[in-house]
């Protein structure tokens, strides 16, 4: 999707809370799920928002309801040119954002023997991994010049080990975790922080399709509040909820033979 970005300024309202100075935020995938919850959370805190999504009609309705000044842009995170213009426009109107959140993501069941899944596999990797890099790219030099800013990537507990039936999603989130670590080290000493967020199961339209139990399922608005606190604290790596942090640690510690035995017949996401 190569659509032209659109902007819709909204009036601010200081009665809905405060946020630390210079808390302009740029969020991709803001029309639904975690991205929408983060937009609502940062609007409540009084941030100036740059919101990006493919569904601009949904995005504009959200922007109209937010108690903060916001700019809405239609763009696909797989398209570098489509992301560059919103970045320039937002910087010209609101200044370089203090926080850029690469949240846009897609999920679907995939199986390697199924040739029909090839395009789905490519889309998941392009959106969840390459799209994260393309989201950050237009802002890094401006943040370096200011020696200030936070780049936030939404990864997942699913990136800790390869889960059956969601190879593309697990690979994209594992790649995101490694990419964000590389970026954090590259930007060391620059004044720019990199925060990796790894949620477990969050109640969104994506997880609503899962035909299996989801332990420690967390509401999106609760998750957004916890993420905002982790971002403000400049945490390098944050897993939520805390129970999933424990589960994730245990998964990573499992020897491969035992992991294979336990997950060989685990329920899989439908294709």
> Which residues have a catalytic role annotated?
169
Residue 16 has pLDDT above 50, yes or no: no
CA 28, 156, 146 angle in degrees (round to 5)?
45
The pLDDT of residue 170 is: 96
Return d(Cα 188, Cα 201) in angstroms, integer: 31
| 90-116 pLDDT, tens digit each | 999 999 999 999 999 998 889 899 999
Tell me the helices (H) and strands (E) count for the chain, helix number first: 10, 9
The pLDDT of residue 181 is: 98
Residue 81 has pLDDT above 90, yes or no: yes
Residue 25 has pLDDT above 70, yes or no: yes
Return d(Cα 160, Cα 178) in angstroms, integer: 11
Q: Do the Cβ atoms of 204 and 34 come closer than 8 Å?
A: yes
State the DSSP string of 16-63: G----TT--EEEESTTSHHHHHHHHHHHHTT--EEEEES-HHHHHHHH
In the numeric block, the tokens 């969840």 are attached to 128
Where is 263: in which H helix or E strand? helix 256-263
Percent of the chain with pLDDT over 90: 72
State the DSSP string of 126-187: IIIIIHHHHHHHHHHHHHHHHT-EEEEEE--GGGSSPPTTBHHHHHHHHHHHHHHHHHHHHT
The pLDDT of residue 23 is: 67
Residues 131-138, mean pLDDT to the nearest whole number: 97
What is the number of other CB atoms lying within 10 angstroms of the CB of residue 75?
A: 27
Q: Do the Cβ atoms of 247 and 214 come closer than 8 Å?
A: no
Residue 204 has pLDDT above 70, yes or no: yes
Could you check whether the bond before residue 241 is cis, i.e. omega within 30 degrees of 0? yes
| 156-194 pLDDT, tens digit each | 999 999 999 999 999 999 999 999 999 999 999 999 999
Residues 21-32, mean pLDDT to the nearest whole number: 80
The predicted model scores a pTM of 0.88
Where is 83: in which H helix or E strand? helix 80-94
The pLDDT of residue 233 is: 96
The more confident residue out of 136 and 213 is 136
234 three-state secondary structure: coil
Residue 154 has pLDDT above 90, yes or no: yes
Return d(Cα 37, Cα 15) in angstroms, integer: 19
| 221-238 pLDDT, tens digit each | 999 999 999 999 999 999
Residue 24 has pLDDT above 90, yes or no: no
Kindly report the average pLDDT of the chain as a whole number. 88
Phi (first) and psi of residue 102, to 5 degrees: -90, 95
Residue of 193, 170, 186, 231 lying closest to 27 (CA atoms): 231
Residues 14-35, mean pLDDT to the nearest whole number: 68
């Amino acid at each position: 999707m190569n659509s032209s970005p659109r902007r819709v300024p909204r009036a601010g309202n200081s009665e809905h809370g405060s946020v630390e100075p210079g808390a302009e935020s740029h969020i991709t995938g803001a029309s639904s799920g975690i991205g929408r919850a983060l937009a609502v959370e940062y609007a409540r805190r009084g941030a100036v928002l740059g919101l990006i999504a493919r569904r601009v009609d949904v995005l504009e309705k959200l922007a109209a309801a937010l108690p903060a000044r916001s700019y809405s842009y239609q763009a696909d995170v797989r398209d570098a040119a489509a992301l560059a213009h919103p970045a320039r426009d937002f910087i010209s109107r609101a200044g370089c954002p203090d926080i850029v959140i690469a949240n846009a993501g897609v999920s679907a069941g995939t199986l390697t023997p199924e040739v029909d899944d090839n395009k789905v596999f490519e889309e998941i990797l392009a959106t969840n991994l390459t799209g994260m890099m393309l989201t950050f790219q237009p802002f890094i030099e401006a943040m370096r010049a200011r020696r200030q800013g936070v780049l936030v990537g939404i990864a997942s507990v699913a990136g800790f080990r390869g889960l059956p039936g969601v190879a593309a999603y697990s690979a994209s989130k594992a790649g995101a975790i490694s990419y964000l670590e590389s970026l954090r080290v590259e930007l060391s000493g620059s004044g720019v922080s990199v925060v990796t967020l790894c949620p477990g199961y969050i109640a969104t339209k994506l997880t609503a399709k899962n035909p299996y139990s989801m332990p420690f399922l967390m509401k999106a608005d609760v998750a957004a509040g916890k993420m905002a606190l982790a971002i403000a604290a400049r945490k390098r790596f944050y897993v939520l909820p805390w129970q999933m942090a424990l589960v994730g640690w245990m998964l990573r510690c499992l020897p491969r033979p035992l992991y294979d035995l336990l997950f060989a017949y685990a329920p899989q996401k439908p294709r």
